[in-house]
Amino acid sequence: MAIEKKKVTEALKEKFPEKVKEVSFPLGDETIVIEADALLDVCRFAMNDPFALTMLLDLTCVDFMGEEMRFEMVYHLFSITNNSRLRIKLRLPEKDPTVDSLTSLWKNANWLEREVYDMFGIHFTGHPYLKRLFMYDGFEGHPLRKDYPLRKRQPIIPMRRKE
Amino acid sequence: MAGGWITTKLNYVIGWGRKFSLFHYPFITACCGMEYMSGACAHWDFDRFGCGLTTFSPRQADLIMVVGTISQKEAPVLKTIYDQMCEPKWVLAVGACTLSGGIYDNYAVVQGIDNIIPVDVYIPGCPPRPETFLDGIVRLQQKIQSQDQEWRLKRRK
């Protein structure tokens, strides 16, 4: 099984030699760092046989404030038939962080990407309904960015006393 | 003198009646609701204090128990429900999140529901023990007994 596990990342490296930047196995989890524009191809390759990573477990973002490539998108894929996992990472610039939407491959990417858009302000091209998921209409900014003020409140109704 | 005596006694009697017939509306959003449930059920049973009838419409309630974290998105809902309640009405705020935001000192949570509606009794704890819950209800009853009852016609314009 361990030999098979290595095959996904190796096959991806063979298939996309220019797009794969780094391959690692932290604590046995296969992790691959790719260029942002290769995301759809990599996912489509990984979800088909023989790797069959057919399930998008989670999709999230990390903010590295101060770096030029500020945002890191993290995708977790899971194969039900092989019981194997793959983690895909890619970096996005601070100005105009845009990446392809995965809604064409997985339906559940819809809400996950809306959450990331809400919290981090990442734009997903090809998303059918890119609106805020958690915060309300009229909320300004993206609260999980590191530069969002810690105690900034945006109440919907007026408060009786000042907070 | 006699009129004053009658008014005072009437005030006392109305307060006595009101404090033992609290119809409460539970506005439960978070884990403190577990303590509310154990307080309301047979082990602690705040029906013993005349606070047993749970109404699931704010229009029939005297007392709203706000139990749990109130987010900014939920604040207009709570305000609307409070406005729908008929006078006289009281508010019981239960748990650290409801009183002050608790550990959630962030963008999403109202820092104390007294920012939205007036609160009569604050019950602290994370979550409060059912005994604390009962203590809060008894203190609310003391408050109702001692306060000026709003029953005069001139106030109901």
Q: For residue B15, what is the domain's CATH number?
A: 3.40.50.12280
A161 vs B73, B76, B115: nearest CB: B115
- Percent of chain A at pLDDT > 90 equals 55
Please write down the long-range contacts of B49-53, taking CB distance under 8 Å and 24 or more positions apart.
B49/B20, B49/B134, B49/B137, B49/B138, B49/B141, B50/B19, B50/B20, B50/B21, B50/B22, B50/B141, B51/B22, B51/B24, B51/B137, B53/B22, B53/B23, B53/B24
* pLDDT value at residue A6: 54
Tell me the residues of chain B between 80 and 139 that have a Cβ less than 8 Å away from chain A: 105-108, 110-111, 114-118
Task: Answer whether A148 touches B (CB < 8 Å).
Answer: yes
CA separation for the pair B101, B68 (Å, rounded): 9
Task: Say which amino acid occupies A145.
Answer: R
| Residue B114 falls inside a structural domain | yes
| Residue B147 falls inside a structural domain | no
| Residue B38 falls inside a structural domain | yes
| Nearest of A122, A163, A112, A113 to residue A142 by alpha carbon | A122
| Nearest of B32, B79, B25, B80 to residue B57 by alpha carbon | B25
User: Mean pLDDT throughout A123-149?
Assistant: 91
Is the pLDDT at A10 greater than 70? The verdict is: yes
Domains: count for chain B: 1
CA of A148 vs chain B CAs: smallest distance (Å)? 9
* pLDDT value at residue A138: 87
CB contact under 8 A, A151 and B116: no
Tokens coding A131? 């609106």
B97-153 pLDDT, tens digit per residue, is 999 988 999 899 999 898 999 999 999 998 899 999 999 999 999 999 998 887 665
User: Mean pLDDT throughout A8-28?
Assistant: 86
Average confidence score pLDDT of chain B: 88
* pLDDT value at residue B7: 82
| Residue B70 falls inside a structural domain | yes
A7-16, A39-48, A91-100, B91-100: least confident range: A7-16
Task: Answer whether B53 touches A (CB < 8 Å).
Answer: no
ipTM here: 0.78
User: Mean pLDDT throughout A146-159?
Assistant: 89
- Assigned CATH for A2-97: 3.30.460.80
| Residue B53 falls inside a structural domain | yes
* pLDDT value at residue A163: 47
What is this structure's pTM? 0.84
Domain residues of chain A, as ranges? 2-97
| Residue B64 falls inside a structural domain | yes
CB contact under 8 A, A152 and B107: yes
pLDDT-derived band of residue B155, with 50, 70 and 90 as boundaries? low
| Residue B151 falls inside a structural domain | no
CB contact under 8 A, B106 and A143: yes
* pLDDT value at residue A13: 87
Average confidence score pLDDT of chain A: 88
A119-135 pLDDT, tens digit per residue, is 999 999 999 999 999 99
| Residue B79 falls inside a structural domain | yes
CB contact under 8 A, B116 and A157: yes
What is the span of the domain harbouring residue B125?
2-141
- Separation in Å, CA B36 to CA B45, B113, B136: 10, 18, 12
